[in-house]
Structure 1
């Protein structure tokens, strides 16, 4: 657990129940906004890339971008390889990778085994 997370937990645990409830409401609100903004850039479409998460209306699967990143391809190189993408698209992709890590790991592993 990071130092920041430890500090947050300590502060929340020491707060009164009404304050804890407000903190929870706030976290859920922020998470909902974050998930909604990802939903605008990350889409799943039946029949496109097997229904896997892709950037917008493209056939660029998030797991493919993450595989490239792990193999040392820089963001600048990705933007050259995919001229229809921008930095905000890549940021959304990385956020998706973080929030859906199990899904992405499974897709990468499945592709490596194929």
Structure 2
């Protein structure tokens, strides 16, 4: 199994960032509960997890929480310290997910405050 993972990672490095994101999303989907729904590459909604709000990957971290930190000027490095299970890729996913969904995520932020 380790050889398969190593080979897959080596091949993934030669692909575009978008293709890498698709691979990560596919792998995360395999790890997620059956009732999870992929709503964006790397973002899932699962009933009874984070109130059904979109979360990053196989975590229980809602996208809006990461976006709130970014909007508040918290650095990416600090966010990675706060959420140790996240990666820079997850932060990038949160930023791309936010684009075009500003009102939805900002409403979620206001509900939490």
Structure 2 length as normaliser, TM-score?
0.61
Query: How far apart, in 1, do the equivalents of 2:71 and 2:41 lie?
Result: 25
Q: Structure 2: state its 5+ residue gaps.
A: 1-18, 26-38
Q: Which has the higher helix share?
A: 1
In structure 1, the partner of 2:56 is 55
Q: CA deviation at 1:62?
A: 0.8
Query: How far apart, in 2, do the equivalents of 1:85 and 1:105 lie?
Result: 21
In structure 1, the partner of 2:94 is 93
Q: What is the count of residue pairs matched by the alignment? A: 78
CA root-mean-square deviation? 2.0
1:36-69 per-residue CA deviation (whole Å, 9 max, x = no partner) reads 6673410000000010011012111111111111
Q: Which has the higher strand share?
A: 2
Tell me the SS of whatever aligns to 1:73: coil
Structure with bigger RCO (C-alpha 8 Å, 6+ apart): 1
1:21-41 per-residue CA deviation (whole Å, 9 max, x = no partner) reads xxxxxxxxxxxx9xx667341
Runs of 4+ in structure 1 over 3 Å off: none
- When Rg is computed on C-alpha atoms for both structures, the one with the higher figure is 1
In structure 2, the partner of 1:111 is 112
Query: How far apart, in 1, do the equivalents of 2:110 and 2:91 lie?
Result: 21
In structure 2, the partner of 1:5 is none
Tell me the SS of whatever aligns to 2:99: helix
